[in-house]
Each structure stands twice: as structure tokens, then as C-alpha cells.
Amino acid sequence: MTEESPRIAGSRPRVAILFGGRSSEHAVSCVTAAGVMGAIDKTKYEVIPIGIAKSGQWVLASGDTSQWSLSSAALPEVAPSGKTVTLAEVGGEHQLIVTEPNAVPQELGSVDVVFPLLHGPWGEDGTIQGLLELSDTRYVGAGVLASAVGMDKHFMKVVFESAGLSVGPYIAVTDRDWLTDAEAVRKRVDKLGFPVFVKPARAGSSMGISKVDSMEELDAAVEEARRHDLKLVIEAGIVGREIECAVLQGRGTDTPRVSMPGEIAVAAGEHQFYDFAAKYVEDGAAALSCPADMPDEAIARVRELAAVAFDAVGAEGLSRVDFFYTPAGELVINEINTMPGFTPKSMYPQMWAASGLAYGELIDELIHLALTRKTGLR
Ligand SMILES: Nc1ncnc2c1ncn2[C@@H]1O[C@H](COP(=O)(O)OP(=O)(O)O)[C@@H](O)[C@H]1O
Ligand SMILES: [Mg+2]
């Protein structure tokens, strides 16, 4: 366990950008990587782009950002390769090694810090963080437990409730619950009252989520969510504005820094809620604004609650905390995202930009936090 990365003071730290990944948010992650690779200060950091194919294979990826942007006709995707990249400790340093069948392994050099730009399961859920911890490698963002809690829409609510945050009515439904007694699940849903939101417990980008207005629609929504995760969360629909805050870990022992809140307003009529198409596909389907037009007192409260949520799950680095702001003025927490959308146009960087921290500076600060953080139990 070392205090400081040995390379910080010397040559440019080598930053491995990890993107793609095995989740259904693969393409979104590629777009994020394009944003970060385009903005990172290359005079200060040496960037090594590592793509993770949908199969899970790590490959040396192109640093050409145009290849990973959304402008191309097809969604960007990391292609598998005959050459596999692995991270291993060699001679006390964290080396990237390229292996291919019947060839001598080739060293790509050492890595000072990994920036996992991965969304969803096998990236934002503690698994990659565990792998990096095992090899004693520094990385940006939340650790193992915080990532796992932030990924699971059931356990995050348990943690939020115990921290005193207001959580809407919900039930958690396991595979066993649904397969052995679907009728009991239907009764519990009936008590929540319609509409309900049926969600895979561990997914993201609104994948697998349906708004359900009556019992007749429930089974289809459950089956759709189960395609993503066999564990589900079913929530009572909350009427309220969608308000979010960007949280950035403080330096040293400082408390978390919280941006001004932003608001997502989904164009009425077109979308039932903030679904995948409204998030990524259709330009203009959702309007992001920051700062959100709220009374000063509510702004202060939402910022305070965002910091509570960040600390409640034990987050580090960055998180976006999302709330519903009800007509009665209540702030009901929806979720925390420990690796939120991070393209220059995404809400998280936009909220920081509106709060005085530009995209490039934000990337620099996150890498600084990771380089100066001890490795060890997290
Ligand atoms: N309980 C709820 N009441 C009202 N709208 C909801 C509720 N849960 C989710 N939504 C809508 O669905 C969107 C996606 O849900 P969310 O839980 O944030 O999933 P994801 O992790 O995929 O972003 C939200 O941004 C919101 O528009
Ligand atoms: Mg969300």
C-alpha cells in the first residue's frame, strides 16, 4: 500500500481509459470515452485506450475519437481482436501486457491510474473495481462496495432510507418470488397503486424499464425487465420534476463538493418518461437545464441531500444523484449513479460547467483524486 503514485512528480502519469464493456450500455460507454479522450490534457497525461469487447475481452483500442462518437450510422462498438490485453503486476509495476496465440507476450508499459468509463453491470457495479483492487492498481471513482450498492436499485434504497433520505414506495422482487408465487407479487404491486415502474434491479440508461398503468400490462413488463436482471424493483410512480446534482469527492478530508442542481424535462407527449430514446437517440426529446429553476431554499436542500446520498453509499470520485421534486416541495431520491453519463454533453459535466468547473478541469481533478488516493480496502 503506497501513499503516492511514484510517477506523479516525474513524467506524465499514464492513464488507461477503459471503455465499452459487457453491459447493454456498451455504446454509451464508447461515446463517453470519445469525450474524455478528446478533452484530456495530453501534455499532462499519457493516454492508453483499452476497449472491452462485449465478450469481455480487453483489446488495445483506437485513440481516434471519431470512431467512438455517436455521429456514425451504427452505434460504436469495441471489436474483438486476436490480441488480448491484460493488466499484471510485473517487477512492482502495473504493466499492460498484450498476448496473442503462439507469440511472445509484449509489454505495453506501466499504468499509473485506470479511468473506468464503464456504465452498468461489469463496470459500474464493483466488479472491475475488485479486479483493480486485486492488482493494487489506482483507479478513478467509487470502490467495490459503493459501486455495487449504487448499481442495485434495491440495496441503494435500503442504504438511503437508513441515512434518512426520502425514498418512494417500492417492492423488490426476486427470481424465486416471481417463479414460485407471481400472484403474491401482483398483490404487492396492487398495494403500491398504478402506475408503477418495473425495473431490472441492476441496469441503467432506462434499459428494461416500463411504466405500467394496469395489472394487465404487468407480466409483459416483468418479462421485459427480467431480460436484463432476474432481480427486479417495482416502484410506485412519483409525480415530480427530475432534479439532479453532480457530486465530486473533496480533496483529502474535505467534504464532497456538490454542483448546482440541474433539471431534465422530457418533452410532453413523445415519451412516457426519460427512456433510452429520450436519453440518447432523439435530439430534443429531453431538455437539460442548469441551474434548475427552483427556490433558493430547495436548491440548498437538494445539494445537501446529494452529499448525504454520496456519503451514505460510501462513494468516491464522482456520482450523480437524482431526485424527484414533488409539487408539495418534497425531494424523493430516485438513484445514485457512481459512473454517470460523462460525455461533454451529459448532465454530470454540464452541471459542473454551470457551477464553474469545465470538462477538462473535471477530468484532471478526477485523475488527481485517484492518483493521490491510497490503494487498499475500499
Ligand atoms: N418511481 C418513478 N416514478 C416516476 N418516474 C420514474 C420512476 N422511476 C423511474 N422513472 C422514470 O424512468 C427514468 C429511468 O429510471 P431510473 O430508475 O433512473 O433508471 P436508470 O438507472 O436506467 O436511469 C427516470 O429518469 C424517470 O423518468
Ligand atoms: Mg436514471
CB under 6 Å to ligand 1: residues? 168, 197, 199, 203-206, 209, 235, 237-238, 242, 273-274, 322, 334-335
Distance from the Cα of residue 274 to its chain's centroid: 16
For the stretch 132-152, pLDDT in tens is: 998 889 999 999 999 999 999
The residue whose CA is least distant from atom 2 of ligand 1 is 237
Q: At residue 98, does pLDDT exceed 70?
A: yes
Q: At residue 58, does pLDDT exceed 70?
A: yes
Rounded to the nearest angstrom, the distance between the alpha carbon of 274 and the centre of ligand 1 is 7
Q: How far is residue 16 from each of residues 33, 95, 132, 230, 305, measured CA to CA in Å? A: 11, 11, 12, 33, 33
Q: At residue 4, does pLDDT exceed 50?
A: no
Which DSSP string corresponds to 26-79? HHHHHHHHHHHHHHS-TTT-EEEEEEE-TTS-EEE----GGGGSTTSSSPP-PP
* All structural domains of the chain: 14-139 (3.40.50.20), 170-236 (3.30.1490.20), 239-371 (3.30.470.20)
For the stretch 222-258, pLDDT in tens is: 999 999 999 999 999 999 999 999 999 999 999 999 9
Split at pLDDT 50, 70, 90, the class of 3 is very low
pLDDT for residue 1: 38
Tell me the average pLDDT of the chain. 91
